Amino acid sequence: MTCDRARELLSGYLDGELDPAERQELERHLAECPGCSEELKALRKTVDLVRALPRVGMPAAAADKVRDRLRNELRGRNVLRKLSGWWAGARLASRAAVAVVVVLLVAVGFGTVYSLIAQPKMEVAGEPAGIEEMRLRQTGAEPAGKGDEAVPQQASPSASVFPDARRRPVTGYSTLFEQKIIKTAELELEVDPARIDEAQRQVVALVEGAGGFVQDFSTWTGEDRKEISVVLRVPAERFGDLLARLEELGTTKFKRVSGQDVTGEYVDVEARLRALRQQEERLLQILTMVKTVDEVLKVEMELGRIRQEIEMWTGRLRMLDNLVELSTIRLKLIAALPGPLTEGSDLLRRLWQAFLATVRYLGRLGVRLLVFLAGALPVIILVVAAWGGYRYWRRR
Amino acid sequence: MPLSDENLVLRFQAGDQDAFEELFLRYRDKAYALALRMLRHPDMAADVVQETFLRLCKGLRRFRGEASFSTYLYRVVSNLCMDEIRRRQRGQQVSMSVSGEEGGRQREIAGGLSDPEEELVRKEYARRVEEALGRLPEDYRLAVVLRDVHGLSYEEMAAVMQCPLGTVKSRLSRARGMLRDILTEMELLPPGHVKTGEGRETR
């Protein structure tokens, strides 16, 4: 053993922290090397000097000051504890308020997204969505000006719409990914007032026969007409067929068919989910390795965030799946009633009626406002409670 | 039979305020001693002790006993001291005073009954050793103080200093070597032996 190595070990030797082999070797070296044993002596003396230092205590005045400060802190916590019932309530309320707000936001967001998706895409000529229903564009304006070949907007009723366009825009990935298309139709039919209920029954029968369902149903009766609005969800492959059958129930007043290709988004979301899952796994591995509380907390926080994101994207994927698998048809059956309104020939009477209508309208508006306020009241209470709680917490 | 630290921690977590005060009584002197040797300034050391216990007060709620309470405490104290020292170095606001000069304000717990003259010599001796310690770089000083004053094991030191065991060993070894040189220079150790400069030794 060299002296350099021996001196590195001396400190550990003093503490009895060497392993037996090292210790034996060192002791052998010390026995024959006076320099190193001299060094050991000096080191031992050094350590002894430090160990012999008188123990230092905290000055009483300073200690008392710190103790008082701590008591204050603890008492603050104690008060908090005593108020814990109230506090927990307030906290719960604030959480509930936050949850309500989040739900509202999500609902609004969902609504926006949904309306965006459901919105007819008249310009999506390149998308293979319309398929045979596209011929129904005849009812809309003729996009005659668009002779542009890249956008083959055909309007002739009989032509099956751009059979080549079906392939063209997606050749890149249609072979790799299953195409995801959201199909939506809007249809307004005029029916015989006497047969409107019958027509409604037929609609239900048709949809259920096709393996779909009625998602939403509403009926409205005005002074001069009756309207039945339904939102139908039908399997995508029965979409065209069903639409044609529905049209037979009355005279088509308005029709719009649209398709939205979401393959790109779908693939994106899937890729993102994969990446997130990998990240989650990696974090779980890291979690088994870290030792300190701080690190564990940090990793767990990150993990929570990732999981939340996974949740979110999974939800999005499910929604897309649902929209793709089940096409949406918004159908409105309209029946004109022999209205009494038209016979009012007297000007004064018509004026009076108009006035009354507005008054009634304002009345309804007022009632709606009241109802809305009543509905919002719990939220308002929660928000005020949360705010109060927060203020209280801040002041402390 | 006094309660263990861990027991007190559990009690505090369950809401027993007195348990925390008991922990404070047990550890305030140790915390103070370490902070004083690191910062060499009584007021700052007291501040560190206060800050340490305030942090413990919050941190103990989440404390799950991965390390012993004392290790946790030493770690907070040494981190706070290192932060303070770094702040000082950055700001160059040097207001150190050697602890010995303010010795009158310190309580010496191990007050002996020996005669005054011997007591005086002992005090002077201690003051000079403290001074020698003060000349060590902070991380070396921390190592020596944790080991030889507070009696921590190498494993505990690693946890407090947040470094691997090997680093603890080598740092402590070098720190003691340097302290020995300083003490020799101050004539607290007999001269005559050879310094451990690299390669200057017989082999």
Task: Name the more confident of B128 and B3.
Answer: B128
**Which ipTM was obtained for this model?**
0.82
What secondary structure does DSSP assign to B32-82, as a single string?
HHHHHHHH--HHHHHHHHHHHHHHHHHHGGG--SSS-HHHHHHHHHHHHHH
Residue with tokens 């740092």: B171
Q: How confident is the model at residue A284 (pLDDT cuts 50, 70, 90)?
A: confident
Give residue-wise pLDDT tens across range B26-73.
999 999 999 999 998 889 999 999 999 988 888 887 777 677 889 999
Between strands A181-190 and A213-221, the pairing is: unpaired
Of the partner residues B169, B176, B203, the one whose CB lies closest to the CB of residue A47: B176
Residue B122 has pLDDT above 60, yes or no: yes
Q: Is B28 on the interface with A (CB under 8 A)?
A: yes
Strand, coil or helix: A237 = helix
Q: What is the mean pLDDT of residues B72-86?
A: 92
Residue B203 has pLDDT above 50, yes or no: no
Of the partner residues B32, B176, B184, the one whose CB lies closest to the CB of residue A11: B176
Instruction: Tell me which fold the domain B115-189 belongs to.
Output: Arc Repressor Mutant, subunit A (1.10.10)
pLDDT at residue number B97: 44
Task: Name the more confident of A177 and A50.
Answer: A50
pLDDT at residue number B189: 82
- CA A299, CA A310: separation in Å to the nearest integer? 16
Q: How confident is the model at residue B137 (pLDDT cuts 50, 70, 90)?
A: very high
Contact state of A53 with B130 under an 8 Å Cβ cutoff: yes
pLDDT at residue number A132: 41
The packing angle between helices A3-14 and B165-185, to 10°, is 100
- Chain B nearest-CA distance from A24, in A, is 18
Contact state of B180 with A42 under an 8 Å Cβ cutoff: yes
- CA A280, CA A142: separation in Å to the nearest integer? 53
Contact state of B53 with A66 under an 8 Å Cβ cutoff: yes
Contact state of B33 with A57 under an 8 Å Cβ cutoff: yes
- CA A33, CA A26: separation in Å to the nearest integer? 10
Residue with tokens 């609504």: A111
Sign of the CA dihedral running A19, A24, A28, A30: positive
Residue A149 has pLDDT above 80, yes or no: no
What DSSP character marks residue A220? E
Q: Containing H/E element for B198?
A: none
Which chain B residue's Cα is nearest to A2?
A: B203
Give residue-wise pLDDT tens across range A247-262.
888 888 888 888 888 8
What secondary structure does DSSP assign to A254-279, as a single string?
EEEEEEEE-HHHHHHHHHHHHHHHHH
Contact state of A42 with B36 under an 8 Å Cβ cutoff: no
Contact state of B66 with A292 under an 8 Å Cβ cutoff: yes
Residue A41 has pLDDT above 60, yes or no: yes
Q: What is the mean pLDDT of residues A279-292?
A: 85
Q: Which residues of chain A form beta strands (DSSP E)? A: 56-57, 181-190, 213-221, 225-235, 251-261, 326-336
Q: How far is CA B141 from CA A15, A92, B80, B147, in A?
A: 17, 50, 15, 10
Residue A78 has pLDDT above 90, yes or no: no
Task: Name the more confident of A111 and A177.
Answer: A111
Average pLDDT across chain B, whole number: 81
Give residue-wise pLDDT tens across range A326-379.
889 999 888 887 655 555 567 888 888 889 999 999 999 999 999 999 988 999
Encoding tokens for residue A376?
């919002």
Q: What is the mean pLDDT of residues A45-73?
A: 89
In chain A, pLDDT over 90 holds for what percent of residues? 12
Strand, coil or helix: A253 = strand
Task: Name the more confident of A380 and B117.
Answer: A380
Sign of the CA dihedral running A351, A356, A362, A364: negative
Residue A168 has pLDDT above 70, yes or no: no
Asked if residues A265 and A150 have their Cβ atoms less than 8 Å apart, the reply is no
Q: How confident is the model at residue A128 (pLDDT cuts 50, 70, 90)?
A: very low
Residue A175 has pLDDT above 60, yes or no: no
Contact state of A42 with B184 under an 8 Å Cβ cutoff: yes
pLDDT at residue number A336: 82
CATH class label, B1-94: mainly alpha
pLDDT at residue number A87: 61
Average pLDDT across chain A, whole number: 78
Nearest partner of A179 among A275, A328, A320, judged by Cα: A320
Contact state of B108 with A57 under an 8 Å Cβ cutoff: yes
Contact state of A46 with B54 under an 8 Å Cβ cutoff: no
Task: Name the more confident of B191 and B21.
Answer: B21
Residues of chain B neighbouring A47 (CB-CB closer than 8 A)? 148, 176
Name the residue ranges covered by the structural domains of chain B. 1-94, 115-189
Residues of chain A neighbouring B166 (CB-CB closer than 8 A)? none
Q: Is B106 on the interface with A (CB under 8 A)?
A: yes
- CA A236, CA A362: separation in Å to the nearest integer? 43
What secondary structure does DSSP assign to A343-365, as a single string?
G---HHHHHHHHHHHHHHHHHHH
In chain A, pLDDT over 70 holds for what percent of residues? 78
Which of A341-345, B103-107, B163-167 has the lowest average pLDDT? B103-107
Strand, coil or helix: A228 = strand
Q: What is the mean pLDDT of residues B81-105?
A: 62
Q: Is B64 on the interface with A (CB under 8 A)?
A: yes
Q: Is B42 on the interface with A (CB under 8 A)?
A: yes
